[in-house]
Amino acid sequence: MAQDQYGKQDPQDQFESPEQQESKQIPHPGTTGQMDDEPDHGEDSYRGSGRLTGKRAIITGGDSGIGRAVAIAFAREGADVLIAYLPEEEEDARTTAQLVEKAGRKAVTVPGDIRDEQHCTAIVERAVSELGGLDILVNNAAFQMAQPGGITDITTEQFDRVMKTNLYAMFWLSKAAVPQMQPGSTIINTASIQAYQSSPELLDYATTKAGIVAFTKALGAGLAEKGIRVNAVAPGPIWTPLIPATMPDEKVESFGGQTPLGRAGQPAELAPPYVFFASQESSYVTGEVLGVTGGQPLT
């Protein structure tokens, strides 16, 4: 990425496309250091302005990719952050925690598998005890594994893992978080363009992302009377460790090229919508889905 990215006006080349870089498959869940072309999380570019001063946030999947970008942005906007992640992602989580602390905010790291309800409850309990409360929940962690043969190649084991990681955990975390939240708190879910433009090889993943959209709308309506807003961000093709860890090489090499802007997005380009939904700037917005897709329609 060019150092003067924010001086550029053309979104087609604001970030260099990873499709121009060497790519190779990496083992799941994938870490940032295993990638030939590491994503841009806003480490050198995001500038905060106090929009989340004093807030306490949970970010699942906060070790890398979109989660890391959101953690950096939240911290630079004044929030303390709890990062939930898989134990094998410890190195990435430490890096993200250091970036949060460098911004002068508190970072809490909680490894574990969110497919377990008790662990989800424990995440919320840790946030309340170590951060002093909870104002923002970002349900971002997800699992996908592309299967070229579609439904005939998707095992029951994989289907169960996708459902538990992407839907059950969101339900468990939200259920545990709501009693701890005061009016003005927010829940932000990571949906996907796959909820609207579903790929056969990601049938199970797309199904969960469509569920996240419905969950967001229903929960947003249900919690409005409590003063808690619920919204979702629907990314298009974003360059994160999940991509080379779950997609075949030929898909990785052309990743993002189908968008009108002609490239994959970087995690740094996702952080501002999460900050918008977490802040009072979006005080009259709930139950909505914001697409960040490089121009691909959410219809």
Residues 152 and 145: their CA atoms lie apart, in Å, by: 14
pLDDT confidence bin for 10, thresholds 50/70/90: confident
- 196, 205, 274, 284: the active-site residue: 205
Report whether pLDDT(15) > 80: no
Mean pLDDT of 111-120: 98
Question: What's the N-to-C CA distance of the chain in angstroms?
Answer: 31
CATH number for the domain running over 50-292: 3.40.50.720
The per-residue pLDDT of the chain, averaged, comes to 89
Q: What are phi and psi of 232, to 5 degrees?
A: -140, 150
Q: Where are the domains of the chain?
A: 50-292
Structure tokens at 66: 């979109």
225: its two tokens: 């009377």
3-state secondary structure of 106: coil
Average pLDDT over residues 34-47: 76
Radius of gyration of the chain (CA): 18
- pTM, two decimals, is 0.88
Give the span between the Cα atoms of 246 and 208, in whole angstroms.
16
pLDDT digits (tens, 9 = 90+) for 202-243: 999 999 999 999 999 999 999 999 999 999 999 988 877 656
Q: Is the pLDDT of residue 23 over 90?
A: no
Question: In the structure, what pLDDT confidence band is assigned to residue 4 with cuts at 50, 70 and 90?
Answer: very low
pLDDT tens-place string over residues 235-280: 988 877 656 655 556 566 656 568 888 787 889 999 999 999 999 9
205 is known as an active-site residue:
yes
List of residues 6+ apart from 16 with CB closer than 8 A: 1, 2
